[in-house]
Structure 1
Amino acid sequence: MVRRIACFFPIICLGFLVFTIIMGILFTPYDPYEVNTQEELTPPSSEHWFGTDHLGRDVLTRIVFGASYTLLFPAIVLLLSSLLGVVIGLISTIGRKVDLLTTAIMDSFSSIPSFLVAIIFAGLLGPGMVSTLFAILVSWWVHYARIVRNTSMIIRNQPFILSAQLSGTFGVKLIRKHIFPNALPIVRELIFLDMGTIILMISSLSFLGLGAQPPIPDWGGMILDGKSYIQIAPWVALIPSVFITIFVMLFYFMGRRVQ
């Protein structure tokens, strides 16, 4: 019973936080973009639960609105990168020449750290969420392609694959009916584990000024805005940092439970 509760605890926490964020977006009395110079750097109070930033904007309101950027965009990146990686990984199992070509492409991308590739592309494309998504997509698909390729190669040597081939199942039909369904569980697990990593990457790019641009309330950008006031108003940078940490940990534990 305790283990069952422990398995669902991260899901319950994530659901509660998402519900709270949605309610906050619907019912907050403040505008996340409205500047109020009379309430600059107001500490947490009954009116502003998480205080205000250097422009007098309510931090809690910017947190709940920023969640749509910090959580939705990583999900889009993971969906696109996993689809691209799975397709390329499965294509590599068609034949030896195709495998050599796709492996060479994957090795070329793997030779440079993913975050460095994301920084390079984000710098070339210019700051903004769209360029950030593309930059991370370019650097991240290779993880799924390599894992799906290696997993598929192991699956191809299993006895049931030989039985399928003896019954006349080859090519795309073999991949669709036997290889892909057996490689799917590890992809599902990786998506949950990678969600936290992508959140950190997008927040880091925003912190470096390459992600979402002001006044978009991205959590990484909020940390960037608050770092100059860390001594006199630590809540401006600390609160979005805490939310990033919480969501990264929740997705990590969810990924471990999917195993």
Structure 2
Amino acid sequence: MHRGTQVITRADDCGSNHSANLGILRALEGGVLRNVSVMATCLAVQEAAGMFAEREDICFGLHFVLNAEWDQVKWGPVADPATVPSLIGADGFFRQHPREFMEHPPQLAEVMLELEAQFNRLTELGFRISYVDTHMMSDWVIPGLEDELRAWCNARGLVYWGDYLFPDLTLGDGDNSGDLVAEHIEQMEAFDPGFYLLVTHPAVDSEEMRALGNAFESGLQIADNREQDSLFWANPRLADEYKRVGVQPIRYDEAGRLSRR
């Protein structure tokens, strides 16, 4: 790899539960994680605000939520459910997967009302939101949502993540028995210089995390994978290796300026 490569380093699902908050707190100790995406819809978001909101070393994003993917753990809208009926199922929660929007198309006006409500909750809790990304990439499924999000972000001086869809990096292959830092650096060294995106879901392994799960991933797998994400970022070798190979971790609020050089 040639020097001059930038990577948007991102942790998702902050505020989703206590274990995610703890995992992200640990991940930040490594000094490489720059962006944290926050879920406004979950009970642990207030705890997350107390832990992170005043930190200026983090670029915070609204992790815009329209789905609740787990079988047993659910969440619903921040807006009054009566004002966003097309976004929720009969149980009063968000639908489990974006593919359900094909059978139950949401009203775009209600989507944007919920976006505003989630943004307002985070700002009221003290988060300085700089970008918006989407949980389970609902903007790729709901017709017109990408354009609406882009316009909404532009009007508020925020970054819409879809404008910086740099090639995705992967962390491991589901087998956490190896050295994730060494594997990641080997991957980076094989790539051409440029801009990249690495999205992870740090958490600590706990009964709370093991209570998650669905038909695609068991709670045990989720807890283990997210524990490894947290340990990866916290590993002090990662910062040293980034310096050695000339990789710069960047924030979303730096991406536009850097990508136009």
Which gives a bigger RCO, structure 1 or 2 (Cα 8 Å, sep 6+)?
2
Looking at CA atoms only, which structure, 1 or 2, has the larger radius of gyration?
Answer: 1
- Fold match by TM threshold 0.5: no
Shorter-chain TM-score: which interval? under 0.3
More helix, by proportion: 1
Compute the TM-score of the two structures, normalised by the length of structure 2.
0.24
* TM-score, with length taken from structure 1: 0.24
